[in-house]
A and B are shown apart, each in its own frame.
Chain A
Amino acid sequence: MKVIENLRSSLAQLTLLEIGDQSGDYGAMLFAGLGANVIKIEPVCGSPSRRIGPFATPQQDRESSLFFWRYNLNKKSIALDMDSPVARAVMSRLSDTADIVLLSGEFKTVDRQLKWWRQIAEEKRRLIVCSITPFGLDGPYRDFKSTDLTQLAMGGIMAMCGYDPNSDGVYDTPPIAPPMWHSYHVAGEYAAVTIMAAVNFRDLTNDGQFIDTSMHEAINTCTELSIPIYLHNGEVVKRQTARHAMVQSTPLRLPRSSDGVPVLAGLSPLARDLAAFVRLADDSGIPHELRSAEFEQWRKNDPGAADEYLNQLVDKIVGSISAEEVFIRAQTQGLPWAPIRRPEQNLQDPHFISRGSFATIEHSELGRDLLYPGTVAGDGISPHMSYTCRAPRLGEHSWEVLEKAGFTRNEIEEMARQKAIVAYEVSRGE
């Protein structure tokens, strides 16, 4: 593969102003990963996402939230007293050079902000203003309260995830909301896609626009077979342990490796999968009858017996070696098997290391670096999305951003004296 044009700084000409709660952090960070100048405008008490755990230190203060660290890489922070006239003066000035405004939060809060941004956008027609709210800006649920949990419930994901019913066919465990923060992930990804479409449209027409992203609708697009099965067949899928929710129960196939790890080790009816399994069985050294006439007869005349034999052999092979060995050996033969890893087991994985999947971020306050999952794609040599800066401290970039926006040093100092801004240089000296 030759050196190819990387997308790393392809959005470097774009400035995005981010105002809101935790539901907007991730979507804005995707732009920062492609080089956009993302300025997070926080209230002086700090963004709500600074209060979400876990925390890096026992103090659990606004500078130690791992949620905030995770979802605010590469961003700048400016902290304003949102109720003071200074805040509007600053945001108005920043909007002169901004391309995108991303608002997030409950409907009432975002709606109030939008009224002001609509006035601004009348003069600045190139501005793209996107909101992420729990249910969108209209409709009977627009004022409903929501959390990640209730979003995954109402959006249909929870009904598909959980454990098998008991032996009487009764569900004795609840539907499960897979952790963590997937409603913010899905809504953020859709907001990012839609904003980029609007940027493309602006390039053609010179017109910005407003975008109303509904988290509830975003999640509703993300449930695969559930809706098509109901619409077309009138049937409802039921949740099953660690496998697809289906109308009819399907067998649970998660054999354990010699080191006790469940392994996703299914065999499809495809001829190529069976051929791959024969090679794996050969490689394992475990005696088998896969080439025998008897097995061929089972396959033709008694598929149930053939399946039972195959499953027993899968269990034997998986149980004879470690999960990681199963993974490598099965995949080498072309079987799409994988161990159920804990997330952290990937930190030392040679594949992800060679792809540059993790960004090394310096944390001077901890005296160490931390690895962050950084990208989803590369150009064959290096990642397209690049994260190099830890999440900002509250108001860390107030000076820089305000000076760049044309405010004088005296004006900034006056704002700080009035406590209308948190400017990191000043607060550090307090």
Chain B
Amino acid sequence: MSVTTDVRQRRDVSGARTYLGAWVLLVALTGISVWLLRSEGAGASTLLNCTILVVTFLKIFVIMMVFMNVRRASATLRMVCSTWCAGVCAILVVGVLVSA
């Protein structure tokens, strides 16, 4: 195998930029959630609570797809992980709406 091919393959395998991008997105979304909560004050609205929950499960979805490499896994595993995120998020949002 030539050196050029080897380097190209290493670049294909490496996902450092993707991981770094995902980390920046996750930290930014966490910061936005906290900023929204602080700007709203003590009695946060139901809409804000629902938004924060959706953002949280979006972050979990990003962790699964990027960090856990589920995006490159089998279709079954992708479906199970996506269903878990969507299902639990939906139940919690409904719970917040009902208890409001």
Is the A/B pair a real complex? no
Binding site for A on B (CB under 8 A): none
